[in-house]
Amino acid sequence: MARTTRDEAKQDDQPRGGRRSPGPRRRLSREGIVDAAIQVIEADGLAALTMRRLADELGVAPGTLYTYVSNRTALVTLILDTVVERDDLPHELPGSWREKLESWARSDFDHFCAQPWVLDLRASVREAGPNMITWFDSALRVFDGFGVPEETKLNMLGTLDAYVIGSAFAHTETLTPDQPASEMKHAAIAAYEAAPALQRALAHAPRTFGTERFEFGLACLLDGFTSVLGQPGS
């Protein structure tokens, strides 16, 4: 709709003589730039996001964007940091340490599955923004008062985060034995026919990585955390 609005505005700006009259500059903000960038990503994927494409969506010259972000890498980092800012802080969630981690993990899993482009952002960004730092500090504070060694906190959070990301990726990119690459089709079918344990397992479980399988793994992880801490998750 933004393009239609700009086209109509351009037509309205044309005087009868055919020359375009000067108008006020469009005001931008970092928040507006991020929102427009997210619209591009949701429509066409992260690879489609360029400074020129974003400038076109916003109706400004590409050079104008560099007043707000230095380059595409900085833009992508800003987008991820803004996404993180909109999340709840883990230590402020209700319940015990286990319930806080459960809420965080489920929220992220649902978010990643609904918006897989966030996974692409996580894979692309190498620099932690201020909101990411604040969020991670909050996650560490979930264990306040339990005497947990700092390295153990980092290990548990990193393990849980990796599980959530991997689970979401598995959910969105699940491969099944009946969809092999064309050049390996016959070999894959033969291998599957010679894999009785796999056939039995798939006969009793869904082939896609869904919520039930995610919850199973999450419970196993948190049970392990409880064992490491030597105390219940309360």
Structural domain boundaries of the chain? Answer: 1-10+25-69
Give me the pLDDT at residue 226, please: 94
For the chain, counts of helices (H) and of strands (E): 12, 0
Average pLDDT over residues 104-127: 92
Confidence of residue 164 (pLDDT cuts 50, 70, 90): very high
**Can you tell me the distance from the alpha carbon of 25 to that of 28, in angstroms, rounded to the nearest whole number?**
9
Q: What is the pLDDT of residues 34-88, one digit of tens each?
A: 999 999 999 999 999 999 999 999 999 989 999 999 999 999 999 999 999 989 9
Q: Which tops the pLDDT comparison, 162 or 127?
A: 162
> Is the pLDDT at 172 greater than 90, yes or no?
no
Upper half-sphere CA count for residue 73 (Cβ side, 13 Å): 4
Q: Cβ distance 164 to 105 under 8 Å?
A: yes
Q: Which range, of 94-98, 132-136, 203-207, averages the lowest pLDDT?
A: 203-207
**pTM of the prediction?**
0.76
Give me the pLDDT at residue 201, please: 80
**Can you tell me the distance from the alpha carbon of 41 to that of 135, in angstroms, rounded to the nearest whole number?**
23
Q: Cβ distance 66 to 33 under 8 Å?
A: no
Q: Which two tokens stand for residue 228?
A: 């490491």
What does the chain come to in residues?
Answer: 234
Average pLDDT over residues 192-196: 84
> Is the pLDDT at 219 greater than 90, yes or no?
yes
DSSP notation for 175-193? --TTS--GGGHHHHHHHHH
Mean pLDDT over the full length of the chain: 84
Per the listing, tokens 């833009």 go with: 75
Average pLDDT over residues 157-178: 82
Q: Which two tokens stand for residue 20?
A: 């375009």
Q: Cβ distance 55 to 64 under 8 Å?
A: yes
> Is the pLDDT at 152 greater than 90, yes or no?
yes
Give me the pLDDT at residue 3, please: 42
Q: Which range, of 74-88, 184-198, 215-229, averages the lowest pLDDT?
A: 184-198
Average pLDDT over residues 140-146: 93
Fold of 1-10+25-69: Arc Repressor Mutant, subunit A (1.10.10)
Average pLDDT over residues 143-168: 94
Torsional sign, CA 34, 36, 37, 41: positive
Confidence of residue 234 (pLDDT cuts 50, 70, 90): low
Helix (H, G, I), strand (E, B) or coil at 7: helix
